[in-house]
Structure 1
Amino acid sequence: MKSVLVTGPGGVAVVDVPTPTVGPTDVLVRMRACGVCGSDSFYIARGGIPPREGATPIGHEPAGEVVEVGSEVSGLTVGDHVVINPIASRSALIGSGGPQGALSEYLLVEDAELGRSLAIIPAQVPWEVAALNEPMAVARHAVNRTAPKAGDKVVVFGAGPIGLGAAIGYKLSGAASVVVVDVIPSRLEKALAVGADAVINSAEEDVYARLVEIQGAGATAMGAPRAGTDIYLDAAGVPAVIDTALKAAKQGATLGVVGVHKHPVPIDFQAILASEVTIVTSMGYPTEIFEVTSEIADHWEKFAVIVSHTFPFSEVEQALTTASIPGAADKVVVTFD
């Protein structure tokens, strides 16, 4: 079979490798789609994934079709459409340092267990949408970490795939108002398409003033005026987001951080104290990997908006290049014939 390997700093190659052999507790999945993550670009740029040495397989956002089932595996049959948990085996992460990557024609799910290592997704969900399962689990975990309540007013900073997924998650959790902030008009259009109640272009508008206009007024413990927003989610990883949120936060507001900050960010503890802000961070998806599968199945048309580009596996190198260029794409998915 063919598989994509990182061969060195900035280098990738499609190479022939042995098709995996299925053991009694394993399942072989024919890949039908795999999303490209920002971490894939990072792995390529640095030439691999420590501590693994040599050629490194990549791809950890898989969706595919079961083609062989081990004799001891239950609940799965040939032909099932599935999404896969790439971190189910902590010792052999798929596409992130383990011996397999999902940018391959086939993927072996070792010690396959329905509901732990893979889940069935309805056949009506397009493959490129099913491949969103892993990043949408990241978004759902961010939502869960901020503990939204029905009726909450939420603002999401960053309308990339995680921010858009979080916007969907907040609406499904009962938020009364979800506002999405970004500087790219096309992404703000997508935010409205997935169900955001309003958007703010922070390059052109005063975010605080618009939040007060949209979500009403609040106050600090000492009565200083603030926005009525209950939850702020940083899905952008930009220092200005933290500053803006803390200056706008009312008493008891929550600030969640899922965006990756590449450098230390100064924090105004006076603003935190004045508003008694709760700050939570979010990483990965401890329990959400298949929680989000049913949400995608039920609302796949909304999730489909997140995909901006699809490339056939024959053009996988172009897909990786496109995904690595800032602003060139929102979500790139590689599909397999």
Structure 2
Amino acid sequence: MKRAIVTAPGKTDVVDADRPRTGPRDVLVRIRACGICGSDALYIAIGGLPPHHGCMPLGHEAAGEVVEVGSEVTGITVGDHVVIDPMATPGDIIGNGGAQGGLSEYLLIANARRGVGLEVVPDRIPFEVAALNEPMAVALHAANRCNPKPDSKVLIFGAGPIGLGAVLAFRSLGVQHIVVADVIGSRLEKALRVGADAVINSAEENFVERLVAIHGAGEAMFPGKADTDIYLDAAGVPAVIETAIAVAKKGATLGVVAVHKKPVPVDFLSIMSNELTLVGSIGYPTEIFAVTADLVANWQKYALIISHTVDFANLDDALTLAADPGAADKIIVTMN
């Protein structure tokens, strides 16, 4: 079979590898789609992670079709379409330093149990949409960390894949009003199509005035605050943190799911005086398959998050596109 690996800093290759052998407790999946994550660019830049530095299989946002089922496996049959939990085996994480990656023709799920290492999805769901399950679990966990209520007013910074996924996640949790802010008009148009109630182009509008106009004025020690309950940073820009804290009303929550590569100054006086809650979010401790039902029910909206699909034969083109900031939003590599 073919497998994409990181071979050196800044270099990837598609190599021949042995097709995994299926044991009695295992399931073999033919991968049909795999998303490219921002972390993949990091792994490529540094030459992969130990213990497979210099030969690390790539890809962890995978979906595919079951082609072999071990004799002791129950609840899974040949032909099932499945999404994968790459984190299910802590010492051998798929596409994150483990011995396997989702950008391969086949993937072995050891000790396979439905709802643990993989989950079945209806075959009417396109594989490229099913491959969104893993990043959408990241978005759902971020929304859960913010502890929303049905009447919460939410502002999401960033209309990239996680920001758009957060729109759908907050909606699935019953939130009634969601605003998205970004500086790219096309992304904001997509946010509205996904289901945001309003958008703010912070490159063209006064962000604070526009947010107050949408959500109303909020109670705080000083005037000029918005009545927004939850702010979620899915942009990773230092100005987002500064802006959210400056406009937040008393008791508001600021969640951070975006990766900030450098320390960000924080106004702790405002956090203290307005009793703000600051929460971080990483991964999906319980959400990897909790998101699956909503993905299946609303797959047409999730499909809007995908900006490009690229055939596995043109993987270099996909990785080059992913490495160019602003050139693409969500890239899915497909395998026929």
Q: TM exceeds 0.5?
A: yes
- Which residue is equivalent to 2:207? 207
Is 1:282 aligned with 2:281? yes
AA of the residue aligned to 2:53: E
Match of 1:97 in 2: 97
TM-fit CA distance, 1:210: 0.7
Question: Helix, strand or coil: the match of 2:291?
Answer: helix
1:302 and 2:310 aligned: no
Alignment of 1:1-337 (within 5 A): 1-220=1-220, 222=221, 224-337=223-336
CA contact (8 A) 2:86 2:94 kept: yes
CA distance in 1, matches of 2:161, 2:141: 14
Residue pair 1:20, 1:106 contacting (<8 A) in 2 also: yes
Whole-Å Cα distance in 2 between the matches of residues 51 and 180 of structure 1? Answer: 40
Identity of aligned residues (%): 62
Gaps of 5+ in 2: none
Deviation track 1:9-55 (CA, whole Å, cap 9, x = no partner) reads 11111110000000000000000100000111111111111343331
- CA-to-aligned-CA distance 1:215-274 (integer Å, 9 cap, x gap): 111121x35341000000000111100010001111110000000000001110111112
Answer whether contact 1:219 1:225 (CA < 8 A) is retained: no
User: Aligned AA for 2:115?
Assistant: G
Matched AA of 1:16: D
Deviations 1:127-186 (A, max 9, x none): 110000000000000000001100110000011100000011112222221110111111
Q: What letter is aligned with 1:300? A: W
Stretch deviating more after TM superposition (151-160 or 41-50): 41-50
Query: Structure 2: which amino acid aligns with 1:277?
Result: L
Instruction: Determine the C-alpha separation between the residues in 2 that align with 1:24 and 1:156.
Output: 46
Deviations 1:47-105 (A, max 9, x none): 11134333110000000000000011100000000001000000100000000001000
303-312 or 46-55, larger mean C-alpha shift: 46-55
Distance 2:238 2:50 in 1: 28
| Partner AA of 1:64 in structure 2 | G
Q: Is the 8 A contact 2:47 2:53 kept in 1?
A: no
Instruction: Using the TM superposition, give the Cα deviation of residue 115 of structure 1 relative to its aligned residue in structure 2, in angstroms.
Output: 0.5
Separation in 2, partners of 1:61, 1:7: 20
2:218 match: secondary structure: strand
Q: 1:152·1:174 contact (CA, 8 Å) conserved in 2?
A: no
Q: Is the 8 A contact 1:158 1:182 kept in 2?
A: yes
**TM-score normalised by structure 1 residue count:** 0.98
Q: CA RMSD in A?
A: 0.9
Normalised by the length of structure 2, the TM-score is 0.99
What's the secondary structure of 1:251's corresponding residue?
coil
Letter in 2 for 1:117: G
- Using the alignment, how far apart are the partners of 2:132 and 2:13 within structure 1? 24
